[in-house]
């Protein structure tokens, strides 16, 4: 079964440092999403790509977060500088279109701890 690959699985950093997460979606999935999941809460969309274009980044804290998907395949999410409140699971997902709805498949996530 095809999977969404993410790395690193775990990242511990000190505040004010830079961190980066990588995601490789399922082959052929044109839509890629980055979600943030704080412990005990549901995933919150940070940014959505269609191919290499951003289609929704309304919830992305653009003063410190950036995301890119230069060739429309894999993607990188960066945080600089990291803050204590950024501690969370960062989930990447990709989707195909099925009967008019995008079905999301999530990666295993990257758990960030900011000290």
Q: How far apart are CA 45 and CA 91, in angstroms?
A: 9
CB 35, CB 46: distance < 8 Å: yes
My answer on whether omega of the bond before 51 falls inside 30° of 0, hence cis, is no
Stretch that binds other proteins, among 10-18, 69-77, 79-87, 91-99 (CB under 8 A): 91-99
Stretch that binds other proteins, among 12-20, 21-29, 53-61, 71-79 (CB under 8 A): 53-61
| Residues 6+ away with beta carbon under 8 Å from 88 | 36, 37, 38, 39, 111, 112
Which of the residues 21 through 50 are near other proteins (CB under 8 A)?
31, 33, 40-45, 48
| Cβ-based nearer residue to other proteins, 25 or 109 | 109
Q: How far apart are CA 101 and CA 96, in angstroms?
A: 8
**Residue of 107, 110, 112, 114 interacting with other proteins (CB under 8 A):** 107
Q: How far apart are CA 67 and CA 47, in angstroms?
A: 8
Stretch that binds other proteins, among 10-18, 19-27, 77-85, 92-100 (CB under 8 A): 92-100
Cβ at position 89, least distance to other proteins in Å: 9
Binding region for other proteins (CB under 8 A): 31, 33, 40-45, 48, 55-56, 58, 91, 95, 99-109
């Amino acid at each position: 079964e095809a999977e969404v690959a993410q790395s690193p699985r775990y990242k511990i950093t000190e505040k004010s440092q830079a961190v980066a997460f990588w995601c490789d979606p399922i082959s052929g999935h044109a839509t890629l999403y980055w979600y943030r999941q704080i412990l005990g809460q549901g995933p919150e969309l940070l940014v959505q790509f269609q191919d290499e274009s951003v289609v929704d980044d309304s919830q992305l804290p653009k003063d410190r977060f950036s995301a890119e998907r230069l060739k429309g395949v894999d993607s990188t999410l960066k945080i600089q500088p990291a803050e204590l409140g950024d501690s969370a699971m960062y989930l990447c997902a990709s989707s195909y279109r099925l009967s008019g709805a995008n079905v999301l498949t999530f990666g295993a996530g990257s758990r960030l701890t900011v000290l």
